Structure 1
Amino acid sequence: MKKEFLVGTLTATLCLGGIGMMTSCTNEDPVNNETNNEGNTGSGNSAYVIAATVDDASYLVTASSLDEGEVSLDNSKEVIDATYWVYKDQKMVFALVYNKGGSGTGASYYLDGQGDIQKKYDYTYNRITTYGTWGENVVTVSTGDSKTTDANGNIAQALLFNYLNESDGSQSASSINAENFLGNGETVSFSGVVEANSRVYTSVIPMGMSKYGIGQWPEMVTDEALKAQADGGSGSSSYEQGEIPRTQYPDSAFVAIYNGSSFSDKPVIARTGKIGYACGRMRSQYYQTIWAADNGDIYVFSPGYGRSTVSTDELKAVTGQLPSGVMRIKAGETDFDSSYYVNLEEIGTKHPVYRCWHATEDYFLLQLYKNGAESMINDGTSADVSELAVFKGEEGTITPVSGLPADMSIGGEPFGENGAVYIPVNVTTGDYPAFYKVDVKTGQATKGLSVKADQITTAGVLNKQE
């Protein structure tokens, strides 16, 4: 079974990358070729394409295996310094640049008939807070101002979509109302895009009520004291006097299920009160924590972030109570499976999840808060999220990952193939970065391909294009 693989840059153990989807490939080796010392693809029709950096420059380099050996960047392609990498249909890899609050930029690359990396298209689009794929398009999503205002000049918020087409390089944009999306008066954002069961699933994150929303749906204000009494916050967490800057529903998870062909269609909303909202979070970025198993079941992971929202003298907030947990939506269903729930803080190391990725079958790689829920709540963006484990969905069990270097930092998102997970690992001992292959059933990691670079970010498979 093959799936799109979405990947993102990470830095050390604190801000680990963008939202990603691992590739679950067939049991046949996708790279059947010979490799010389420089990592060229030889006579095969495919290659692993690795994102790496040296000094301040970014490169894509090919290799025929991630299991062993060493590859240099001598014959690599210098590329834009991407925040996220999207490997699409084994045809192209999209480089997406976050650019903080500004407009996003990007480019796509492919393998020519000789196995050399070439640029295909350039893109400019709205800023990214999450992304995914839908059909032939790479989709970026953010929440921003719409063109609608009320009588007081308050601006309604919209969900802004960009569609970057893999076939012809075209791009288009659309938007829908982000206000009262869930029927509770709150503005929302999306986290992740999952294609499965001929549908598209996305986690919906409630973010409180804007002044526009309060004006339109005042009955949805659960407590007048939740309105900010003055401007406050900073960056992506800034807010204005008169709005409700934190959700009133921290202990609910919402998933929008689309049966149509665009986000303009009306979705079915699945809701559960057993876990909090489902996403990883690093400032304005929402990291995908909903994934499809090979049988089409959708697993929904929540860190339990509602517990970190607390009232202060300046701002009252609704504090969540639920721990980090997992729910699922069975393949073909449009509501949460009431018989399934796993409390992640009662199994394994009992630590909450920060991010996760599908590996193979119903195995998922989890990135955990190493020092537990208190660190997640108290340390915020400085919390150590370097702990890794494998979660078996049907059994609801966790296996810690072992065998990784003690001085490691994770370079970027992992790559899943043939029942294993390849983790890009950077070290401080002077060794070159390398991919470590993790057996999902045992959690054991073994060193694979080394890359002669300062850092590596991720890998994916591309086919040669004649």
Structure 2
Amino acid sequence: MKKSTKLALLSAVLAFTAFSCSSDSDKPEDTTGGGTDTGKTKYIITATTGAAGIADYLLTADDVTTGSITTTGNGLEQDGTYRYYITAQNNFFSLLYGQGNPGAVTTYNLNAEGKLVKKSDFQAETVHVFAAVNKDILTIKVPRSGASIASMYKIDAEKSLITGEAQQDTKVLAKNGERAFFTWATQVGDKVYMPYMSIKGDGVDNFGTVNPDSTWVAVYNYPELKLEKVIKDNRTSYLGAYFTNGLFQDENGDAYGFSGAIATSNAVLTSTKPSAVVKIKKGTTEFDQSYFFNVQEKSGGYKISSTSYISKGKFLLLMYGNVGKNNGAVKMAIADVYNQTFTWVTNAPATLTSVTSRYNITSEDGNSAIVGINTPDGNWIYSINGSTAAATRGMKVEGGQITAIQKLKY
């Protein structure tokens, strides 16, 4: 999936590679095949039973604040071993991670009765970055060793057609003897900002680096996807992580970057800078040197694992459970990037097996994150209030661990 001669084939098979952000259509009349928009919302809960060769069941519900739902005799069964998701233009995309090989891609939407129906089923290359940009889905296949060319594809999310592509030599981008590995892509204004790690890519210690204490964001114009600039800093480490978004734009147009400061060399943690939040002011392509939110200090020494935006400067953070480490059972917290406050989430289960940090949604009122929490005692959907940091237990999911929560309109 690296040469422009494959564009026609990719137009048929790669139209659905996207991930954890959502972009609901705001049109009164839905043009994506889901029927007339009635103003109603249906929640999609994905749950895995852990059975060999089975990915997730897709369950639907009108309300996730109460009751229970089960995978037994219910939902749509998917195949494969690992799936990732996005909703874009009021379509739900389910992608099989192919371990470097092509994998099945299935697209769903809601019909006029609110029933989840399959729209299409294709094969697509495995890619590493997937993000909604305007009405497109931007996908990037990023090499970790061997060839150094990253391939970028623009996909019309309504028509499921590739409308353009671009390439980036990751060694040329890094300019430090290593290679750039994009952690994610975020639309900021009319441009696309792509944070990246610097990695050795030598086939032995691929994701190791000799540059653990620097931050980079490559700025591309859109839709041309031409590199304009690299934004640099050295107060923390790279933003996000492999398959993990670390850069978010708020309602004011400012962008906030989250670093776990978890760079390694030969599997040894080598970052010396703190896990922190940095800021890029609206209309600028520089890090704001007057802003630095030292989350590691505010949390008592913990590092950021992953991040979800709620609204109004409130973020749900998943923190590594071991102080100063990049491991340990997850802990949840709320960060207010405007006031630089950090608050541990209360009323949550004592032991968290996993939390759906990458596949979350925001409540209808914009005040809470809706997440799936799996525990040794059961699996529930929780609402985490961004102002109070209090967790409220909602629907119980039986017969499988929760892997994602999304929503569609119909």
**How would you bin the TM-score normalised by the shorter chain?**
0.7 to 0.9
Residue aligning to 2:221? 259
Q: Contact 2:276–2:296 (CA<8 Å) still a contact in 1?
A: yes
Query: Residue type matched to 1:62 in 2?
Result: T
Please give the alpha-carbon distance, in whole angstroms, between the structure 2 residues aligned to 1:98 and 1:437: 28
Q: Which runs of 5+ in 2 are unaligned?
A: 1-17, 27-37
Residue 63 (structure 2) aligned to one of 56, 61, 65: 65
Alpha carbons of structure 1 residues 340 and 22: separation in structure 2 relative to 1, 3 Å = farther
TM-fit CA distance, 1:197: 1.6
Residue 371 (structure 2) aligned to one of 407, 412, 423: 423
Q: Contact 1:80–1:95 (CA<8 Å) still a contact in 2?
A: no
Per-residue CA shift, 1:279-300, capped at 9, x if unaligned? 22xxxx3311111122121111
Q: Contact 1:191–1:202 (CA<8 Å) still a contact in 2?
A: yes
Residue 77 of structure 2 is aligned to residue 45 of structure 1: no
**1:266-345 matched pairs, under 5 angstroms:** 266-280=227-241, 285-306=242-263, 308-309=264-265, 319-345=270-296
Please give the alpha-carbon distance, in whole angstroms, between the structure 1 residues aligned to 2:160 and 2:243: 26
Residue 402 of structure 2 is aligned to residue 451 of structure 1: no
Please give the alpha-carbon distance, in whole angstroms, between the structure 1 residues aligned to 2:64 and 2:229: 41
Residue aligning to 1:6? none
Q: Contact 1:390–1:401 (CA<8 Å) still a contact in 2?
A: yes
TM-fit CA distance, 1:319: 4.4
Query: Residue type matched to 1:347 in 2?
Result: K
Please give the alpha-carbon distance, in whole angstroms, between the structure 2 residues aligned to 1:113 and 1:49: 16
**1:105-144 matched pairs, under 5 angstroms:** 105-144=104-143
Residue 178 (structure 2) aligned to one of 177, 186, 194: 186
Query: Residue type matched to 2:91 in 1?
Result: M
51-60 or 323-332, larger mean C-alpha shift: 51-60
Please give the alpha-carbon distance, in whole angstroms, between the structure 2 residues aligned to 1:329 and 1:160: 26
Alpha carbons of structure 1 residues 98 and 440: separation in structure 2 relative to 1, 3 Å = same
Residue aligning to 2:407? 461
Query: Residue type matched to 1:327 in 2?
Result: V
Q: Contact 2:237–2:259 (CA<8 Å) still a contact in 1?
A: yes
| TM-score normalised over the length of structure 2 | 0.82
Which structure's CA Rg is the greater one? 1
Query: Residue type matched to 1:83 in 2?
Result: R
Please give the alpha-carbon distance, in whole angstroms, between the structure 2 residues aligned to 1:247 and 1:202: 19
Query: Residue type matched to 1:84 in 2?
Result: Y
Alpha carbons of structure 1 residues 25 and 140: separation in structure 2 relative to 1, 3 Å = closer
TM-fit CA distance, 1:367: 0.9
TM-fit CA distance, 1:119: 1.3
Per-residue CA shift, 1:277-325, capped at 9, x if unaligned? 1122xxxx3311111122121111111123x43699xxxxx94421211
Q: Contact 1:104–1:128 (CA<8 Å) still a contact in 2?
A: no
Alpha carbons of structure 1 residues 115 and 339: separation in structure 2 relative to 1, 3 Å = same
Residue aligning to 2:193? 201
Residue aligning to 2:32? none
Query: Residue type matched to 1:301 in 2?
Result: F
Q: CA RMSD in A?
A: 2.9
TM-fit CA distance, 1:394: 1.1
Residue 396 (structure 1) aligned to one of 330, 337, 340: 340
Residue aligning to 2:319? 368
Q: Secondary structure of 2:296's partner?
A: helix
Please give the alpha-carbon distance, in whole angstroms, between the structure 1 residues aligned to 2:314 and 2:394: 21
Please give the alpha-carbon distance, in whole angstroms, between the structure 2 residues aligned to 1:164 and 1:337: 33
Residue aligning to 2:91? 92
Corresponding residue pairs, total:
372
TM-fit CA distance, 1:80: 4.1
Q: Secondary structure of 1:321's partner?
A: coil
Q: Contact 1:178–1:187 (CA<8 Å) still a contact in 2?
A: yes
Q: Contact 1:19–1:192 (CA<8 Å) still a contact in 2?
A: no
Q: Secondary structure of 1:100's partner?
A: coil
